[in-house]
Structure 1
């Protein structure tokens, strides 16, 4: 399975710019025969914007419909973070659109990070898994990926790849460098981790977007500048997969 990850600067509430970047990355990923492209957390309208509640998007709204058409044209699925408005509630959400333009999954972030997110968003309560290109996938968002019980729960459901939009900022450089590869290795799950680069308001992002295989090997890694990553996931080797879950002793 070929995976693509887009790392870029925040659209900063410019929806047209955000949609344009997403469409261009989709077209490029499609030309390289990627099965899915992953973009960062709350890409629409941008993670660190002051008026996110006023800019929340409906899952069936025109902006996401544009991306569904672009995914269909590219023949490539898209996982993208967005601020989801559903009635009175606002969610930090990630949508996966299939290569035929249909919605495969909509996930709401469980682990809201810090007082700002906790004040803005309603937390999600459910995992979401779905099938793509013969594999079982799941979505997590940013801080979610740092909690081993979530990864373990998804592994128990047969998930082989987690798509993870993120907005990881300084000083938390250990997350892309250490935490993400360790989570992949410890649970035998590949992770596509799409972060921002540059600055947005009072945040400076770490970059470090990556595609990490199920044995913890980093297959593609971005620095601190815009990048489109492409990598082929290797087959899982039973001899190399972690047996921690089976071996764990409760004391």
Structure 2
């Protein structure tokens, strides 16, 4: 197994003019990424509609296999490129903050709903997901999905490591003053769990938020292979599977665990 070339699409700045504008931007990015040899393209959280939508998020939400998903399936098949896109998903009366992985043949591979909602805004408009572990396989690589705040919970990432996730795709909307998450926490998460993490952020001001950018591909050795600045950017870098295997052999965190000592502690809920 060699490497899975992965593209990270950081942006946009501000709320997109329309879903159509987001799809056009995705098409252009997919063409660029495929031309640079990528097999996977990951976008930011709520890429399709924008993040700072207030109550309007319910009006823009679509079913998992809705019109936008079908359009993205066409983009994926046209460029033979798998795509992870963030969007608001409607399921009956509920709206979820979701990410969908579409395969390079245009077929759906995985659907994830954000489990850990951040702040009053998200809790007021979204229903949290209840599936902590969602995976799919692309070119022999096991890919997992989380969204933004989820990756800040060590239990969520460790569950993926124990289930064999090799590349964790994380659409994100990280705002100031939390730059340390992208700068420090992400490489640590990748190292302590022996996996690649594609962390793809929004950037610039949007409503009351100021997204920090800083998207990165962090490796299982804790080294960041690619890092975006503060503005829109398309990064392309390799998630090296041979490095992953070698690192997991050298780093004993997963094999030296003693869950009999702290399993019940990890499940305990504390009161703030």
Query: In 2, distance between residues paired with 1:239 and 1:13?
Result: 44
Would you say 1:104 and 2:109 are equivalent positions?
Answer: yes
Give the unaligned 5+ runs of structure 1. none
Match of 2:9 among 2, 6, 18: 6
Match of 1:46, SS state, is coil
Aligned length in residues: 251
Q: Which residue of 2 aligns with 1:20?
A: 24
Match of 1:59, SS state, is coil
After superposition, the C-alpha distances for 1:17-67 in whole angstroms (9 at most, x for unaligned) are 111111111111111121100000011211111210111011221111111
Contact 2:167 2:239 in 1 (8 A): no
Would you say 1:190 and 2:196 are equivalent positions?
Answer: yes
Matches within 5 A, 1:136-147: 136-147=142-153
- The offset of 1:149, in angstroms, is 0.7
Match of 1:87 among 92, 97, 104: 92
Query: In 1, distance between residues paired with 2:257 and 2:134?
Result: 25
Q: Which residue of 2 aligns with 1:220?
A: 226
The structure with the greater share of residues assigned to helix is 2
Query: In 2, distance between residues paired with 1:242 and 1:149?
Result: 18
Match of 1:243, SS state, is coil
After superposition, the C-alpha distances for 1:148-206 in whole angstroms (9 at most, x for unaligned) are 11111111111101000000000000000001110000000100011011110111011
The range that moved more, 5-14 or 113-122, is 5-14
Would you say 1:58 and 2:63 are equivalent positions?
Answer: yes
Would you say 1:40 and 2:52 are equivalent positions?
Answer: no
CA gap of 1:60–1:248, structure 2 versus 1, over 3 A, is: closer
TM-score (normalizing by structure 1): 0.96
Match of 1:122, SS state, is coil
- The offset of 1:246, in angstroms, is 2.6
Query: In 2, distance between residues paired with 1:142 and 1:13?
Result: 23
Query: In 2, distance between residues paired with 1:136 and 1:59?
Result: 22
TM-score (normalizing by structure 2): 0.89
Give the unaligned 5+ runs of structure 2. 263-272
Query: In 2, distance between residues paired with 1:16 and 1:54?
Result: 15
Contact 1:196 1:205 in 2 (8 A): yes
Q: Which residue of 1 aligns with 2:80?
A: 75
Contact 1:11 1:18 in 2 (8 A): no
Match of 2:184, SS state, is helix
Query: In 1, distance between residues paired with 2:63 and 2:193?
Result: 34
Query: In 1, distance between residues paired with 2:63 and 2:146?
Result: 19
Query: Could you say which structure has the larger radius of gyration?
Result: 2
Query: CA-atom RMSD, angstroms?
Result: 1.3
- The offset of 1:13, in angstroms, is 5.4
Match of 2:89, SS state, is strand
- The offset of 1:212, in angstroms, is 1.0
